[in-house]
Amino acid sequence: MVRVLSVLAGVGLAAVAAYFTESGRAFYGFSQESMAEARKVVWPTRKETLQMTGVVILFVVVMAIFLWGVDSILFWLVKLVMGGSE
């Protein structure tokens, strides 16, 4: 119990010290402005989020297949140039 109170007292003293410093006040102002900007954000609906997630997953799968194909062709060409018989 004493440890918890010590930590809480330390956090409280740090907050008071930060409040009286220039950088502490600047950080507090920045955090207030950040919260105000976050309230202005128009968040996507669930449907929009699921649709965009599907598009991203489809794109990743298509790119994986494309890169696998390019890699296979390049591997075959290198093997051909190096004289591989397998």
Distance, in Å, from the CA atom of 39 to the CA atom of 54, rounded to the nearest integer, reads 27
Tell me how far apart the 2 most distant CA atoms of the chain are, in Å: 76
Share of the chain above pLDDT 90, in %: 71
Helices (H), 1-45: 2-19, 22-40
Per-residue pLDDT at 20: 87
pLDDT in tens, 6-31: 999 999 998 888 888 888 888 889 99
Domain ranges of the chain: 1-41, 44-86
Per-residue pLDDT band at 84 (split at 50, 70, 90): low
Per-residue pLDDT at 53: 98
Distance, in Å, from the CA atom of 67 to the CA atom of 9, rounded to the nearest integer, reads 57
Helix axes 2-19, 22-40, angle to 10 degrees: 90
Per-residue pLDDT at 74: 96
Task: State the DSSP code for 20.
Answer: T
